[in-house]
Amino acid sequence: MAKKQLEVLNALDVAKTQWYHFTAIVIAGMGFFTDAYDLFCISLVTKLLGRLYYTVEGADKPGSLPPNVAAAVNGVAFCGTLTGQLFFGWLGDRLGRKKVYGMTLMMMVICSIASGLSLGSQPKAVMATLCFFRFWLGFGIGGDYPLSATIMSEYANKKTRGAFIAAVFAMQGFGILAGGMVAIIMSAAFKAAYPAPAYEVNAAASVPAASDYVWRLIVMFGALPAALTYYWRMKMPETARYTALVEKNAKQAAANMSKVLQVDIEAEPEAEPERKNVNQFGLFSKEFLRRHGLHLLGTTSTWFLLDIAFYSQNLFQKDIFSAIGWIPAAKTMNALEEVYRIARAQTLIALCSTVPGYWFTVIFIDRIGRFAIQIMGFTMMTIFMFALAIPYDHWTHPDNRIGFVAMYSLTFFFANFGPNATTFVVPAEIFPARLRSTCHGISSAAGKAGAIVGAFGFLYAAQSKDPKKTEAGYPAGMGVRNALLVLGCVNALGVMFTLLVPESNGKSLEEMSKENEVEDENENGEMGDPATTVPV
């Protein structure tokens, strides 16, 4: 049976939206702003890195990163993120959210700066140090996923909890947008200060020496927003749900929340001694498998499938735009012009589809629910992917390229007004407090495993079938058309696995996790079978 909800938790569930809620969104959200900026800005400068360090004298085309180097530069941060999600997710449940929260932000600040200071005069040295620091940058970013989601879910009221968590995640859109804008400003400023001819006119002069500063400044800028919010993160109190349910200190939880929510909350005595709380099972127990096993499978599989499509699209927009002719051939531009063109195209996509998609989720998630948004998002992504892939030759004609970009943008819109947001929200709501951060870390790590598949797999898959048309060092691939077909099938699988994910809209966290279940003693003083206990 259920026991009475602790007063402090009930007060959180019914609390009116207050200034502190918005403060928490900004504090947690700036971490995600930095996360997105750091993860996606690398795709803006990989072409420049290829020109700077891998141009072959006398070659017809500008230099590009060798396949193994490109895969490492694009994917190493995801490897670090996956590791960080698992480690900091577990640590957040062991030590508390607050104690771990500052560590992740400081790692992001230090490693963002260090990435831009990658040392060496030889390409191997620069790429090795860049990859080293980007791995640890990803490790810090990984910790931000479970901690930010868990902290926001545990602070929020049940009426607007989905919107608050989604708003934190929506800062990722502004991070992607900021990455493009910083790259545009940097490349335009250096292009004006250091004019250079196109590669086909003068290959050596097409890459000004000052170009080396451009990619470093773009990469390092990510440290700034994270550093600005560090002090405020350290001032946040531990969440009431962790303090009351994991540390078993309801009095301290009430005191902490009374300060930040500006209401008087009286701490209640502990539960009656004749009743035993049955919600003490561990992550690897049969009871967890019975109650939450399918839920964890649902959250991990949908995030895995989503990120295969989402990150392959984001990281390789420049390749798709080049393939349809939206960005001119590399040899017709100098190095800084290419950075400018790529950044402008990706910023346009972010502004018109990525950012609006996130905020549509914020507006509607507590109205129509997580399940409906996720099903709709995966379905629409599937439709648009197939609509792009099946008549792909049609879209490559000059008169139809704008239509291609419009439909490609819609896949981003429905990714963000869909599973990219809901896969982040739901794991923070449906698991018990003492396992919440761990389970969110596992779910998000599965997502990053999908991102690695997308980042490494799509890099090769999207290469032309004609070996003569592939980028230097790459084997022939399946082509953009077939790669888009594969991504469409991946999204269709996401629809199916969404059926395993429960709807948490309008319910308290304890209601979803059965946190307050107890067993009653029978006539002989023994604990009876909790007949009322059912899977969430």
Show pLDDT as tens, one digit a residue, over the chain (536 residues): 455 667 777 777 777 777 888 888 888 888 889 888 988 888 889 889 999 999 888 888 888 888 888 888 888 888 999 999 999 999 999 998 888 888 898 999 999 999 999 887 788 999 999 999 999 999 999 999 999 999 998 888 888 899 999 999 999 889 989 999 999 999 999 999 999 998 888 888 889 989 999 999 999 998 988 888 888 888 888 888 888 888 888 888 888 777 777 666 665 655 444 444 556 778 888 888 988 999 999 999 999 999 998 877 765 566 567 666 677 888 889 999 999 988 988 888 888 877 888 999 999 999 999 999 999 999 999 999 899 888 888 877 777 777 877 887 888 889 999 999 999 999 999 999 889 999 999 999 999 999 888 877 776 776 767 777 666 666 777 777 888 888 899 999 999 999 999 998 888 888 887 776 544 444 444 444 433 333 33
Tell me which residue has tokens 């018990």. 432
CB contact at 8 A, 149 and 427: yes
pLDDT at residue 429, rounded to an integer: 92
**Is-contact 515 245, C-beta < 8 A?**
yes
pLDDT score of 314: 62
What does the block give as tokens for 46?
């990989």
Record the tokens describing residue 429, joined without a space: 């709501």
Q: Please give the backbone phi and psi of residue 521, each rounded to the nearest 5 degrees, phi first.
A: -75, 145
Q: Look up residue 203 and give its two tokens.
A: 């290959």
CB-neighbour burial class of residue 425 (10 A; exposed 0-12, middle 13-18, buried 19+): buried
Please report where in the chains the tokens 């798709």 appear, as a residue. Answer: 320
80-107 burial code (b ≥16 CB/10 A, e <16): bbbbbbbbbbbbbbeebbbebbeebbeb
User: What's the N-to-C CA distance of the chain in angstroms?
Assistant: 14
Q: What is the pLDDT of residue 525?
A: 44
Per-residue b or e along 445-483, where b marks 16 or more CB atoms closer than 10 Å to that residue's CB: bbbbbbbbbbbbbbbbbbbbeeeeebbeebeebbbbbeb
Cβ contact 174:355 at 8 Å: yes
Compute how many other C-beta atoms are within 10 angstroms of the C-beta atom of residue 111: 25
User: How far, in Å, CA of 92 to CA of 86, rounded?
Assistant: 10
Distance, in Å, from the CA atom of 286 to the CA atom of 292, rounded to the nearest integer, reads 10
Quote the pLDDT of residue 472.
Answer: 62
What's the pLDDT score for residue 388? Answer: 85
* Rounded Cα distance, 40 and 315, in Å: 7
What is the spatial distance between Cα 277 and Cα 87, in angstroms, rounded to a whole number?
A: 28
Rounded CA separation 211/214 (Å): 5
Residue appearing with tokens 């750091």: 38
Q: Give the Cα separation of 407 and 413 in Å (integer).
A: 10
The token pair that represents 74 in the structure block = 């694009």
Report the C-alpha gap between 278 and 287 in whole angstroms.
10
Distance of alpha carbon 147 from alpha carbon 194, whole angstroms: 44
Helix locations, 156-238, DSSP H: 161-193, 211-220, 223-235
Residue 526: which residues within 8 A CB-CB, separation 6 or more?
none
Amino acid 474 reads: Y
pLDDT at residue 319, as a whole number: 59
CB atoms within 10 A of CB 119: 10
One-letter amino acid at 406 equals A
Sign of CA dihedral 245, 250, 255, 258: positive
The DSSP secondary-structure symbol of 521 reads B
